[in-house]
Chains A and B, each alone.
Chain A
């Protein structure tokens, strides 16, 4: 769409009248929202939908006319979607993309000109030079939550308690905190007290996590302990995403739609792909928080940079080196297995791996085998079929992924061959884990720590083995083992183990 101006007010138009312009080329004084008409009876549904967000017209279930009237009365603002940065390069105001390769131009039927758009966040609808982002400028809606109470009778381990206390203190200061909790420390419970505190101060809270599965798992869990409020899950395609909620559980991607929304943002698995590599997701997290807000990073495996930041005390952090059940973390053993790729091409698996499997078959011990490439999975499955009856393979694009994982949970499988997609978030009781080709670069330090963290998660089965079959030790393997041993040592010293 194009705009023209009348008495310093922007007026949208679908045609191309003389002196009309696109929002990206509007002069700065025209982007100032008109003063608020207090008497104007604004639409509270629009307020609930738009507050704390920056959305496209096409994402709003309200007419363009209604938005325009709200703008003229000072309740909505038009913002540029695509802007130029200081070096005169394009920048996307929604996702923060500044990589010029991720912009493209086309002859646009809406503005009747060559129009540049952002390809980085295209899945949320196209944002181009003629696309305004709409924000709320009217009075803020706050849901009164000072009376709510946490409904949870569980108890925290000493490590969890310490982190929980630190988090409460940080919310008071409105700054940042890194919670470095080993796999199986019980991260969710640590957050309960802090979230309760924020809500009691009428703050708006968001937990952001990279994966939809986790959103779907966390939302009911939190709803259960905060029954007084409506916990809102937000992910691509979620139904209620237009509602306002004091506690939002969102995928990191959906944060692109938020702006200046939250007083407390908890970023789960901040080391995980894609957050760790996608700078625009980091931009999204910054944008979603209010100017004065608290940011909690939650991770089991901070990368080298963050470990260094902690060591140099550049960021406040707290570590939980012990698991909730207070048994030590299983430490990986290394097993050289020769050039396994070459062997596979000759239809052969490493003898050491076969031995590892044969030992476990009679005991009916569930096994998880990580491999670096989807390409090898079927062959490995075929080669193992003679010695093991029930086995499956699973990877990210597998349409039966859910069913297969469930089969493993139900103990209907003896062996599940997987890529790194199962490195996080899954618990199979009593499982033993092996990595074939642990030297592959896909197995980073954090991936290996996470994989090792699949073992011994249940109190009933706190042990289990984790073996890295490799063709040459890598730094990642050594660092991963070191990190796990260091956590165990720290836990012992702090008296957190049984």
Chain B
């Protein structure tokens, strides 16, 4: 067997658990596993970032300053109820996500499944953040759908992305200015439903909020989100 990230051969620990469980879809070596930093402890009640690494002056009532700013405006207040993220976006995860998303190593999506909360998407409509058709063809797959592919969680593609500049090349200001990057399809499927948006990285939270606002205005009951990295 090889480690799904570093591709080095690893021999699994040979114990009873190993004997009686089916071979896992993915095997991580101890080295790589150690480099992934799971977000734990106290987190921001809105965006789910770890509050331990923030200075206390930036936190008010368990909400980080970035989220306070969002919640202060009438336009964005309460649009995104809650975001939950798995890992700290450290250098190792950056490298891994780059290989996954931009080099196109689909198999890396399987790394994350064993870390996902068991009840992810339960009683909710799961909606992946889409790619534009152009970008989808270029990459060959949508990185969010790749993760959902391995988890086997059912999802609905009710958002469509209008082709534009690459998100990662824009500043926060520019990201906020562009409003209409999504279009809603299959409107009836989301009305009065709890929605879980899924994306790979929560950076400024703009993408998720733009999508959430569109869903909310179309009649969704509540919108929360889940991302791999924060």
Interface residues of A (CB under 8 A from B): 14, 58, 101-102, 104, 106-110, 115, 117, 119-120, 122-123, 125-126, 128
| Contact between chains at A106 and B140 (CB < 8 Å) | yes
Closest to A101 in B: B2
Q: Beta-carbon contacts of B11-43 to A below 8 Å, as 1s and 0s?
A: 000000000000000000000000000000000
Residues of A within 8 A of B137 (CB): 14, 109-110
How many inter-chain contacts with C-beta < 8 Å in the A-B complex?
Answer: 47
Residues of A within 8 A of B141 (CB): 106-109
Interface size of B by Cβ–Cβ distance < 8 Å?
18
| Contact between chains at A102 and B103 (CB < 8 Å) | no
| Contact between chains at B106 and A125 (CB < 8 Å) | no
Within the complex, which residue of B1, B99, B106, B136 is in contact with A106, where a contact is CB–CB below 8 Å? Answer: B106
Interface residues of B (CB under 8 A from A): 1-2, 7, 99, 103-107, 136-142, 146, 149
> A119-B7, A122-B99, A123-B99 are contacts. A104–B106 as well, Cβ < 8 Å?
yes
| Contact between chains at A119 and B140 (CB < 8 Å) | no
- Interface of A, helix, strand, loop or mixed by DSSP: mixed
A126 to B105, CA, bound (A): 7
Known: A106-B146, A109-B139, A128-B140. 19 other contacts (CB 8 A): A14-B137, A101-B1, A102-B2, A104-B106, A104-B107, A106-B141, A107-B141, A107-B149, A108-B140, A109-B136, A109-B140, A117-B106, A119-B7, A119-B107, A122-B99, A122-B103, A122-B104, A123-B99, A126-B104
Closest to A123 in B: B103
Residues of A within 8 A of B149 (CB): 106-107
Closest to B138 in A: A58
CB distance from B59 to the nearest CB of A (A): 30
Closest to B135 in A: A109
CB distance from B155 to the nearest CB of A (A): 14
A58 to B104, CA, bound (A): 12
Residues of A within 8 A of B146 (CB): 106
A102 to B7, CA, bound (A): 8
Residues of B within 8 A of A107 (CB): 141, 149
What are 14 A-B pairs with beta-carbon distances under 8 A?
A: A14-B137, A101-B1, A102-B7, A104-B105, A106-B141, A106-B146, A107-B141, A109-B141, A110-B137, A115-B140, A117-B104, A120-B7, A126-B103, A128-B140
Residues of B within 8 A of A58 (CB): 138
